[in-house]
Amino acid sequence: MAENTPSRVDMEKIVSLCRRRGIIFPSSEIYGGLSSCWDYGPLGVEIKRNVKEAWWRAMVQERDDVIGVDASILMHPRVWEASGHLEGFSDPLVECKGCHQRWRSDELEGDRCPSCGGELTEPRQFNMMFKTFMGPVEDDASVVYLRPETAQGMFVNFENVLNTTRKRLPFGIAQIGKAFRNEITTGNFIFRSREFELMEMEYFVKPGTDEEWFEYWLEERQNWYINLGIKKEHLRLREHEKEELSHYSRRTVDINYLYPMGWAELEGVANRGDFDLSQHASFSGKEITYFDEGTSEHIVPYVVEPAVGVDRIVLAFLCEAYDEEPDKDDIRVVLRFHPDLAPVKVAVLPLSRREPLVEMAKDIYAGLRKCWSVAYDDAQSVGRRYRRQDETGTPLCVTVDFQSLEDNQVTIRERDSMNQIRVPVSELQNALAAKLAGEDLFVLPPGGQVWLEAEKG
Ligand code: GAP
C-alpha cells in the first residue's frame, strides 16, 4: 500500500511517454480500453523481455542451485483448495450505499466513500480468483481458476523436479508467468492490474536454516535492483505485522520502492515454512518429502520465496530512469536505463539519406543487428534523432557521416554524457560491446579518437 511521501517524478509524464513512444498502451483502446489492462508496444515488449532475462540470468542461469519450470496457468481445482486460496485469498470489500462504487476497506482513509462521501456497507470478504469453465459444460464440476500466483506450479512439481534433477537441499525452482487477480481496486498505471506477470522462486531449505536463507534472499534481491540502477535510497524494507501475514506465511518482508505515488510494494520475500508441501501431500494423498542422507530421515523442506511482478519492476525502472535536463531553449528527456534494460541498445544514424552513405549505414546496421536490438533512423536532423533515442533510453548512437566514406570510421555517441568518440568500423562491434558492458567511453579501441564535435540541436 502506498504511504504518503513527496513524489520524485510525475506519473502523468511516465504514462504519456509510454503512450507516445510505443512502450505501453491501454488494452483494447479502440473500444475505449479495458479497465486496468495494458498492452506492451514494440519498445515495451523489449523492456519487459530484458527485465525477465535479467531476473532469469541472476536467479537461474548463473546459479547451480536453482532450476526453472513453466507450469500451466490452469491447474486442478484441488490445488487451490490445498493452497488455501479458495478460502483465504480475499480482500475486505465495502460498497458505497450512494454511488455503489466498491473499495478495499483496508486501503481507505476514513469511513466514507472517497468518491462521493456516501455511507459504506460493512466489509465482506471478496475472493480474488478468476473463475472459468473447462470443457463444453458450464457447471460446478467444470469450474477451474486462472492462477493467482505461479508458486503452486512449483510446489505440485516438487517431486517431479527432485526426481529428474537429483538436486540436494538447499535448491530452488523458478518460474515466470502470467497471474490473474480480480482486484477490487486497481490503478497507478501498471502498478496494480488484474492480469500481470509474476517472477517467483521457491527456495527449499532444511527447517531451521530458513531464517538464514530468508536474510540471504532479501539481500540478494535488493542488490539485484541496485546493480540494475535503482538508487539504494529509493528502496526500503517493510516487515509485515503478524495480523497482516498471508495465510501461508510465517514471515514476510516487502521490498518497497519510492513510486510517484509514494512508497509501495515492489517485491515480497516470504517464509512459507512447510505449509504448501504439507497441504499438497495431505490433499493429494501423495508423500511429498525429501530424504536427508545426513540424518537418514524424510523431511518436509521449508520454503523461502522471493516473488515479484514484472510490471511493477518495469514501472520502477521507468520511474528511476526518467530524467529531464535543460537543452538550449528546450528540455532533454532521457531514460537513463541500465544498458541491459534498454529496449534498443544501439541506433545507427546516417547523416544524410544520400547514397553511398545510406549503403554504408545499412551495412553497419545489418551487422550489428546480429548482436543486439538495433534501430535505424534517418528522419530529420541528427540532433532530433539523438533526442528521440534519448527519450527511449538507447545507450549508444552510431553516426555515419561523409567523412566515414573516406576514412571508414564512425562516431559513437553516449546517451548520458552526450560525449562522442570516433572509431574504425572494423573496431565498432567490439567497442560497442565493451561500452554496453560498462567500459568508459573514453577508453579507446585501436585507431579510435575522442571526437569533440558539438552536438547539433
Ligand atoms: N506467491 C506469493 C505472492 O504471490 P504477493 O505479494 O501476493 O505474493 C507477489 O505477490 C508480487 O506480485 C508483489 O510483490 C507484486 O510485485 C506483484 N503483484 C501482486 N499483485 C499485483 C497486481 N494486482 N498487479 C501487478 N503486480 C502485482
Residue 141 reports pLDDT greater than 70: yes
d(CA 410, CA 424): 6
Q: How confident is the model at residue 61 (pLDDT cuts 50, 70, 90)?
A: very high
Q: Which atom of ligand 1 is nearest to the CA of 252?
A: 6
**Residue % of the chain over a pLDDT of 70:** 97
Site to substitute for ligand 1 among 85, 196, 197, most atoms within 8 A of C-beta: 196
In the block, residue with C-alpha cell 518482508:
253
**Residue % of the chain over a pLDDT of 90:** 88
Per-residue confidence (pLDDT) for residue 89, from 0 to 100: 83
Report, as an integer, the average pLDDT of 279-307: 97
Q: Return the exposure string of 328-364: e unless at least 16 CB atoms fall within 10 Å of the residue's CB, then b.
A: eeeebbbbebbbbbbbbbbbbbbbeeeeebbebbeeb
d(CA 210, CA 208): 6
pLDDT digits (tens, 9 = 90+) for 206-245: 999 999 999 999 999 999 999 999 999 999 999 999 999 9
Q: Strand 130-133 relative to strand 297-299: parallel, antiparallel, unpaired? A: unpaired
pLDDT digits (tens, 9 = 90+) for 175-194: 999 999 999 888 899 999 99
Report, as an integer, the average pLDDT of 64-92: 94
> Peptide bond before 123: cis, by omega within 30 degrees of 0?
no
Per-residue confidence (pLDDT) for residue 48, from 0 to 100: 98
d(CA 210, CA 170): 10
Q: Report residue 294: phi and psi, to 5°.
A: -60, -45
- The Å distance, Cα 198 to ligand 1 centre, comes to 7
d(CA 10, CA 318): 11
Length of the chain measured in residues: 457
- Mapped onto helix, strand or coil, the DSSP state of residue 305 is strand
Q: Which atom of ligand 1 is nearest to the CA of 186?
A: 23
Q: Which amino acid residue places its CA nearest to atom 19 of ligand 1?
A: 309
d(CA 107, CA 188): 14
Per-residue confidence (pLDDT) for residue 454, from 0 to 100: 57
Per-residue confidence (pLDDT) for residue 455, from 0 to 100: 64
Report, as an integer, the average pLDDT of 255-260: 97
Site to substitute for ligand 1 among 184, 235, 312, 313, most atoms within 8 A of C-beta: 312
Q: Report residue 335: phi and psi, to 5°.
A: -95, 105
Q: Which helix (H) or strand (E) holds 358?
A: helix 357-368
Among the listed ranges 93-107, 149-163, 352-366, which one has the minimum average pLDDT value?
Answer: 93-107
Asked if residue 202 has its Cβ within 6 Å of ligand 1, the reply is no
d(CA 327, CA 386): 12
Q: Which atom of ligand 1 is nearest to the CA of 183?
A: 23
Residue 159 reports pLDDT greater than 90: yes
Residue 151 reports pLDDT greater than 70: yes
Q: Which amino acid residue places its CA nearest to atom 20 of ligand 1?
A: 192
- Residue 18 DSSP class: H
Provide the greatest CA pair distance for the chain. 79
Q: Which atom of ligand 1 is nearest to the CA of 149?
A: 4
- Residue 187 DSSP class: B
pLDDT digits (tens, 9 = 90+) for 367-396: 999 999 999 999 989 999 999 999 999 999
Per-residue confidence (pLDDT) for residue 186, from 0 to 100: 80
The neighbouring-strand residues paired with 195 are 180
d(CA 25, CA 440): 36
Contact partners, residue 131, CB within 8 Å, separation at least 6: 143, 144, 145
- The Å distance, Cα 307 to ligand 1 centre, comes to 7
User: pLDDT averaged over the chain?
Assistant: 94
Q: Which amino acid residue places its CA nearest to atom 25 of ligand 1?
A: 192
